[in-house]
Amino acid sequence: MKKIVTLLYETFILDWEHLGKDVLLFGSTLAKKTNLEYELVCVNSTIDEKVMANNKIIRLSQNKYIKDNLVGNVIDTNKINRVLINEYLEKEAKNIDFLILFHCCHLSELLAKKYKKLNKHGVVILKTDSTSVKDNSKSKIKRIYHKYIKKIFNTKYADLITMETKYGFNNMCKEGIYGQNVRKKLMLIPNGFEKEFEKIERIPIELKNNTIISVGRIGTMQKNNELLLAALKKVNIGNWRVKFVGPYTKDFKEKLNNFIQQNQQFYGKIELVGAVYDKKELANIYNKSKVFVLTSNYESFGLVLAEALYFNNYLISTQVGVANEIICEGKFGVTYEVGNSDKLAVEINRVISTDVLNKLDYNEMSQESAKYSWDEVITPLAKWIVNFN
């Protein structure tokens, strides 16, 4: 039987949250769809028991090299990772028919090159995990890095390159990767939501609660949840409630407590739910809510938007990741500029004080959200693999 392998060359913490993420589901869903054997290979990662129980994972251990790679008191883990991966490929490359790598970076290129050298018939699938490979960074160091990569990066070792958003796909068709034309190798494969969600019956809008939710790693710089607090100061909350769902930082909890002390009208109306490990429980929170708010400064995709759409939540999101596409030009919500708390407040007030939710076409919303199930999004790639010569 042919085999698909996802190779993660960075040290990951594969926890409960990844059970619904592309890192685990992209390759495993593809293998099920094509009836191929599957393994995920990672380096010295911390892996949750639930993740181990639901996936075939090969964990390459650093232990035998640690004693010889001490620099002062710091272990050169990157060097050890490269040694372990090279050893793995030298031993297993010929047994791998399709190799999945994440990110357009120099290390992905080097691994693809080595794999191709060891297995001339091997196929490399490069998942960019990005909306763009252009350098839009304000960081001087990152700009220098991109300039360096542009000179040395070569896409010839990748047989197929996937993009997650239409914006990124169209941009890459026009501009390529670091100036290299990859149109013939490019395929649009969005990320999908968990199959577990599809087993749950969706609640009609008239039975939902007046609840606004925000789901993610609460309090992190990326998620920028403080923006929602800033917006709520300008919102007439009425009989609505707000829930922050996901693991949260101590700093954010303190900020939320201070916010409620200074804005007593929100006492009992904002809940810091915390991490929800049970997927049915998480689905239930989506299901009972009417509005989903995303405040992120950036997202490569923004899977929570697809999850919220599936459970018929009206979406209010910063202009990041897949937001503009999944909202369908205002059909299922609205986008606003990153960091704009005034615009966010306006949109929340509009939902609370008008009949905007009653005007939504929930049948159309359900049809659109079905496009983001993993079985659906992976189908074009599965067909490509089956027909690959």
Given this chain, do its domains 3-192+374-386 and 195-370 carry the same CATH topology?
A: yes
pLDDT for the residue numbered 148: 46
The predicted-structure confidence for 104-128, as pLDDT tens digits, reads as follows 888 888 899 999 999 999 999 999 8
The predicted-structure confidence for 241-272, as pLDDT tens digits, reads as follows 999 999 999 999 999 999 999 999 999 999 99
Q: CA 43, CA 374: separation in Å to the nearest integer?
A: 26
Q: CA 132, CA 101: separation in Å to the nearest integer?
A: 17
CATH number of 3-192+374-386: 3.40.50.2000
The predicted-structure confidence for 371-387, as pLDDT tens digits, reads as follows 999 999 999 999 999 99
With a cut of 60, say whether residue 339 has pLDDT above it.
yes
* Residues near 126 by beta carbon (within 8 Å), at least 6 away in sequence: 101, 102, 104, 108, 112, 155, 158, 160, 161, 162
The domain limits of the chain are: 3-192+374-386, 195-370
Backbone phi and psi for residue 361, each to the nearest 5 degrees, phi listed first: -90, 95
Superfamily of structural domain 195-370 = Glycogen Phosphorylase B; (3.40.50.2000)
pLDDT for the residue numbered 267: 96
Question: CA-CA distances (angstroms) from residue 179 to 117, 124, 182?
Answer: 25, 20, 9
H helix intervals, the chain: 22-34, 49-54, 63-66, 77-92, 106-118, 140-152, 166-175, 226-232, 250-262, 279-288, 303-310, 323-326, 341-353, 362-370, 374-377, 379-386
